[in-house]
Amino acid sequence: MSAVLRSPCWAKRGYTVEASTGRAENKEYLKDLGASHILSRDDVYDGRLRPLASGRWAGVVDPVGGEQLASILGQLHYEGAVAVSGLTGGAKVPTQVYPFILRGNSLIGIDSVNCPMEKRKKVWHRMANDLKIKEVFNLIKVVHTLEEVPETLETILQGKTRGRSIVKLRE
């Protein structure tokens, strides 16, 4: 699953959520997760980079990086923020300083590998209690057996999966 404002939790906090995907078949699924509007990848980045385009979003969660992230940075409202978690679209982000110095925007890194346990617990607590994330998690999780792992990995590599795959090791 992809890019912009892909945060169902935000809908619960009163924001209007837009989600982007390159796969039309995921539109209804994203609406079920809390998105009001579904954007195509081209809606987010049409191939032309503008360091300061019209402001569209207060906050963005972006797993794509690359040129898409640079495009998003140019489309944040004043004092907007983008949290980046991945580099599916590339590690190089061809941005400029303007979104930061003229709009006070922020680029925030998400690290799930070295994140300390104390911080994880705080985040999990907020997800469980403030945002009541359980119903969303039930929608995104797909449980596999250990035997299904090779086939599942193949599907992931082909970009055909969605949500989070969980491997159940025992009954």
Question: Which position among 38, 81, 85, 107 is part of the footprint of ligand NAP (CB under 6 A)?
Answer: 85
The distance in angstroms from the start CA to the end CA of the chain is: 29
Q: Measured from the CB atom, is 88 or 106 closer to ligand NAP?
A: 88
- Write down the least CB distance from residue 79 to ligand NAP, Å: 24
Residue list 86-145, contact with ligand NAP (CB under 6 A)? 86-89, 110-113
Q: Measured from the CB atom, is 23 or 103 closer to ligand NAP?
A: 23
- Write down the least CB distance from residue 124 to ligand NAP, Å: 15
Residue list 41-60, contact with ligand NAP (CB under 6 A)? 41
| Angle (nearest 5°) at CA 117 between 115 and 123 | 80
40 CB-near residues (< 8 Å, 6+ apart):
20, 21, 22
- Write down the least CB distance from residue 46 to ligand NAP, Å: 12
Of the candidate spans 47-55, 72-80, 82-90, 136-144, the one that interacts with ligand NAP by CB under 6 A turns out to be 82-90
Structure tokens at 88: 């599916």
CA–CA separation, 166 vs 143, rounded Å? Answer: 5
Q: Measured from the CB atom, is 38 or 103 closer to ligand NAP?
A: 38
Q: How many residues bind ligand NAP (CB under 6 A)?
A: 21
Residue 91's closest CA among 69, 114, 72, 113? 69
What number of other Cβ atoms are within 10 A of residue 26's Cβ? 17
Residue 52's closest CA among 98, 108, 101? 98
Cβ-closest position to ligand NAP = 86
Tell me the H-state helices in 14-148.
Answer: 27-32, 41-44, 66-73, 98-103, 117-129, 134-140
Residue list 13-42, contact with ligand NAP (CB under 6 A)? 21-23, 26, 41
Could you list the residues that contact ligand NAP (CB under 6 A)?
Answer: 1-3, 21-23, 26, 41, 63-64, 68, 85-89, 110-113, 159
